[in-house]
Every structure is written in C-alpha cells, then in structure tokens.
Structure 1
C-alpha cells in the first residue's frame, strides 16, 4: 500500500483496488497461470467454468449425479444446480485433516466435486478417478498453484483468478489427465457490463485510497453492482480482453509467494492474544495460504471482534454463511466462529503490524470472551 496515502484512507481487506503501473510491473514475470497450466481454457468466472464443464460432462461422459461437499458457498451450489444434475452431499469442511469423501460405491455416471479450503491441503489430498470409481472435478481457487493443484490427478480442475489477481474477472479450466476440454465461451454483453462496473470500482477505490475526492460509497456501489451482475443472465461467459492480457504477463508465482510472505510475517508479529485464535498457523510444505484465518470461541465473540475491526478499517470476510440445516455440525461451528483476513500482495510489513495491533485491541476489548 502506498506509504504516502492519507492515514484516514488506510484500510485493510475488502475489494481489490486497481494497482499502480509500478506495482503491476513488479508483479510481472515468469510463472504466469497459463505457463503453469498451458493446456487450459479461460472463463469470465469460476461459476462459468463450473456450468460449462458440467454441461460438457453430461453430453460427453454421461454424468447424472454430482457429489458436493457440505461446506460450500451457495453461489457455487446454484451454479451446479443449473446443470440439472442430481446433487448429493458428502461431509467435508476445512477442519477435516483427511478430506471427506462420499460413503459407499461411486459409479461412472457420478462426478465428485472437491475443494482445497484456504490452501490448507497438499499432496495428501490427491485422488484419481481410479481411486474413486468416477470422474473428479477440483476447485483450487484458494491455492491455484499449490502442490495439490500442480500434482492433481483429477479429470478436471478449475480456479477463480479474480480472487488472487488484481483483475475484475477471470477463471481457468484445465485437465490434469489431458482430457479434451470444451471450447472457451464467447464474452457476453452482460458479463462485459459487470466487468466495467467492477473495474470502475477498482479505479475509484485506488483514487480514494490515494486521498482523492472520491466518496467511499461511490466505489462500493460500482463494486457491488459488478459482483451482482458478473457472469451474465446465463452465467457462462468468456473473459474480458483486459484480464486475458494481464493473465499472460502477471506472475501467479509472485502473487502466491507474497501471500505466503505476509502470512509468515503476520504469524511472527502476532501477539499472544492474537495467536490464541489463529487457525492453521503452520502450512503443509509447498502450500500457499489464501488468507489468515482466525477462529473464536463462539459466534458472539466472533461478531464482537469483527465489529471492532471494522471500526478501525479492517474488513474481514466470513467463508461462508452456511444454511443452518446443514448436515455438518463441525462445519457449521467453524462457519459461525471464523474470520478470514487477506494477506495478499497489497500489504507491507507496516500494514501487517498495524493489522496485528488492531486485532490485539479488538480481542482485548471484546465483551464476549468465553
């Protein structure tokens, strides 16, 4: 973050803003996502990639049923439901050290959907269709180039890129097994409109953070509108040309390493009161964290700390608000007590230290300590 930024405009978290030319240049180089996965297809969003591969699998691989983990964001479930496949759930959540799997025998008409939560899982999570009896789709949006993603034996893999790249849209689909992929979809008018809103929000936020005459509500309005629109009415779209270009020059290797560096810096600087709530402070070899995850004693304490952070311009996320009738007590408990705080390329050591100080203050002042 620019050290010359007006201190009133300092904030941590929330939407990515557009980066300066110098910052974009520093993020370029070897290790682009398309160099790492050369035989791949780009999409506007991860949900577009999901819808496309599920439609393709029904047409070419006779899929009839998809197994999805209990711990899954509702937007992805909605995208999966659009395929018309029968949906069955199996228990899996971020706290399971051995990833969950469906009970019983799977058949060739099934497809298994798996996730790497927060980049916590490494090569121990690798499974092939020979192991499961059915095709496998893996979502690696929280760690696109970790050891599981790069050594995957799944039928298909996908990842949303706009969550880790400073871009308004982007996702990628590939086949570790070398299976044929559906062609890239055309860029739709509705998706392009959403990208324009997202990009406007990113530019306006950059101006805001640099002390410019922008009201915070202005960039938030654009960002929220773009997020609501993204994907278009049918939910399948190609990627914008702007994001396509930057994916060819920005290094996902550097972006991932910066997350890891900031994650390690946070753990080194954290006070004892903060360390008490860090979940997964140690990562498996080669894994890159998506964020810093904190877990509190109960929902009330979590919400109290979250309110204190927001007052000091730190904006944590909740992954995810799950339905209360979820058949996964462990997953529901985790969802109701966790906070996710980014540790991406935007932040310096000074930002991390300030974050730790604010967290320590919010935890110490929490009225819901148990």
Structure 2
C-alpha cells in the first residue's frame, strides 16, 4: 500500500478498493433499496410513511441540520434533545409520528422509543449489528460516509413491506453524480502523483455536492454506484478500519490534559476544551494535510446549548480502509505533535 499523502476529506475513486470474493455473501439484503443519497433514502421512507398516515417526524437535536432543512419540505419536522456520549433518551410518539434514531459514529443507538415508527440511521457503520428491545421499522444510510462511491443511499424497509421497484436516477442527479465521480477520479490521480491542482478537484466536488442536494426529486443512484456499492467488500474494509482505530487509540495515550480521545466503531473523536482550541487544532492539522470533519454545525434554533458546545469541541478523525499501519502511526504522531506543542512549533517539520 502506497503511503498516504493526506488523511481524511472525501474518498477518491479507488480501483484498489477491496472487492467481495466470488461467491462471498453480499452485504446488501433482499429488499434493500438503493437511492441517490442518504437524504433521498430518508425522503423515500417519509413518502411511504405519509401514504400510511404519518403527519410528523422527530429528529435528534444533534444531527445534520441541512438534512432536516430538506426534510421539512416533505413533513412536519420536530426536534427532540439527544446527542452522542449522553445517557439514553426516552421518546414517546403518537401512532402517526416517526422518529429518526441515529447510531452516532457507529455506536449503539441511545433512544428508547415508545409508539410510532423508528427510522434507524446507520450511515456511519453499514454492517453494525446492534440489537434492540424494539427493532427499527426502517434502516437507512448514506453510502458516501463509508464507501468510495460518488453518491448513494440505502433503505432497508420492514419485512414484507418492500418498495415496489428500484429507483431510477433523475437527470439532475446523473449530472451531479458524474461531477462527483470526476472529482474523485481527479483526486485519485493527484494522490498517485499526477500534476493535478487540488483546488480544481475540490471546487468540482463542492459544486457536485451542492447539485446533489439541490435536486428536488427523490432519485435513484448513479449507474456507477449501483454496480460498485454491492461489489465492495465491506467486511474487509470494516476490519481494517477497526484495526486502524485501535492502533490510533494507542497512539493517543500521550494527549495532554484538556483533550479527550473517544474511540468509536467508525472514527476517532477528538474532544477539545472549547471551540477556540478546536479551531486552532483543526487549522494546524489541515496545514499538515490532515482533514478532520466537524459533525455537525448546529443551525436549528431548537438545538440545545449542550449540543452547540459539543459541536464546537468536536473533531472527527478518519482512519478507514485507505490507510495502513504506518500511515496510522504517522497520523498519530502528527496529532500528538500538534496537541502537545505551541502553535509556532510546526514551522520546522
């Protein structure tokens, strides 16, 4: 495996991504529906639910509020207070209500829902097998959170209640997914050493991301994702991520006071003392080609003050199948160096 030249950010289109062996058990199940995005997966579920009488959906306060902005055009959306690393949250629903329940960062969901319908968000760990006293009515996910594909979402409907047919991609989605695939291909060439300007593929990816979201219609996936997503060996990719996260956690043993490292099934989570420290660390990591994510900006007024503090403290670090052990050791060294040194210490690397 070629040493990583950077860490995180969106996936490149990887011809070396692990593929399922011939005759291996597929990770998709009979009845699963592929959609154009995780947003489309959720909207498809809501459309089916509304046809059966749903009038309202509840979402956790700590969530991607941009998704809720789009969902609010389809159904009445309300917020219930819930966030990762907290005690379980009880939630009582009327028969014509539903709730989004997240498995944050691949962790076991911590919402106890009585009544209504449960929509389990499994975006961060597609192969998670957490069991619950109450099985979810639907499972949904965004494929691009963990798979090197340009688009895609998953709906796993209740047994005996499948969607009637596969969804075709809309013309607007086809164009947006093609733009994202082009950006992923350019990034692959860049990582391989080609003379490709990073600003070029970043701009293309940003434009494609906006176009994927702006399509008002619920779409099926691109032809590339429809073929590639089922062929990927998720079990091998998941095991490599597990091993990488365990190694990275060992590297984080020297973090100074005021910083906390949380190990989750999907990511390494660095919790800073406050937003100011987080932003300084993030900028210094980016300067060393480490691109942690911030999940998520809290834009809805109903988000609690605790939600806003967590959003300001969190850095989400990728350690997935793209990286080998030496990469992870180098990533750990970069994080520790920045965390334990004054801001001026990065001038000589």
- 2:216 paired with 1:234: yes
Residue 269 (1) aligns with residue 269 (2): no
CA deviations on 1:74-118 (whole Å, 9 max, x unpaired) are 2210222121x22221111012132x233xx42111111111110
2:6 is equivalent to residue 11 of structure 1: yes
**8 Å contact kept, 1:126–1:148:** no
The residue correspondences of 1:67-78 to structure 2 (distance < 5 A) are 67-78=58-69
1:317–1:341 CA contact under 8 A, matched in 2: yes
Measure, in 2, the Cα distance between the counterparts of 1:257 and 1:151.
Answer: 27
Alpha-carbon deviation of 1:140? 0.7
Unaligned 5+ segments in structure 1 are: 284-288
C-alpha deviation, 1:351, in angstroms = 1.0
SS at match of 1:294: strand
Q: In the alignment, what sits opposite 2:72?
A: 81
Which of 177, 180, 188 lines up with 1:198 in the alignment?
180
Q: Does the 8 A contact of 2:79 with 2:302 survive in 1?
A: no
Gaps of 5+ in 2: 344-349
Cα distance change, pair 366–185 in 1 and its aligned pair in 2 (3 A): farther
The aligned residue for residue 46 of structure 2 is 54
Displacement of 1:155 after TM fit?
Answer: 1.1
Is contact 1:46–1:170 with CA below 8 Å preserved after alignment? yes
Instruction: Indicate yes or no: 2:55 matched with 1:64.
Output: yes
Residues 262-271 or 189-198, more deviating: 262-271
Render the CA deviation track for 1:207-243: whole Å, top value 9, x for unaligned: 1111111111111121111111115521411111111
Q: Structure 1 runs of 4+ off > 6 angstroms?
A: 149-152
TM-score w.r.t. the length of structure 1 is 0.86
Q: Is the 8 A contact 1:40 1:173 kept in 2?
A: yes
2:206 to 216, 224, 232: 224
CA distance in 2, matches of 1:65, 1:150: 23
Secondary structure (helix, strand or coil) at the match of 2:178 reads helix
The count of aligned residue pairs is 342
Separation of aligned partners in 1, 2:14 and 2:317: 20
Counterpart for residue 320 of structure 2: 344
Q: Within 1, Cα distance between the matches of 2:179 and 2:13?
A: 13
Within 2, Cα distance between the matches of 1:170 and 1:200? 16
* Partner of residue 347, structure 2: none
CA offsets, 1:26-46, max 9 Å, x none? 342335331xx2221110101
- Change in CA separation of 1:150 and 1:112 when aligned onto 2, cut-off 3 Å: closer
In structure 1, what is the equivalent of residue 90 of structure 2? 101
Deviation of residue 363 (structure 1)? Answer: 1.0
Q: Separation in 2 of the partners of 1:274 and 1:347?
A: 25
Kept after mapping to 1: 8 A contact 2:170/2:217: no
Distance 1:273 1:198, change over 3 A: same
Q: CA–CA distance in 2 between the matches of 1:232 and 1:204? A: 23
Q: In the alignment, which residue of structure 2 is the partner of 1:286?
A: none
Alpha-carbon distance between aligned partners in 1 of 2:158 and 2:241, rounded to the nearest angstrom: 25
Contact 1:111 1:134 in 2 (8 A): yes
How far residue 275 of structure 1 moved from its aligned partner, in angstroms, is: 9.0
Q: Does 1:158 align with 2:140?
A: yes
Give me the whole-angstrom Cα distance separating, in 1, the residues matched to 2:26 and 2:251: 31
User: Shift in Å at residue 247 of structure 1?
Assistant: 2.0
Quote the residue 2:346 is aligned against.
Answer: none
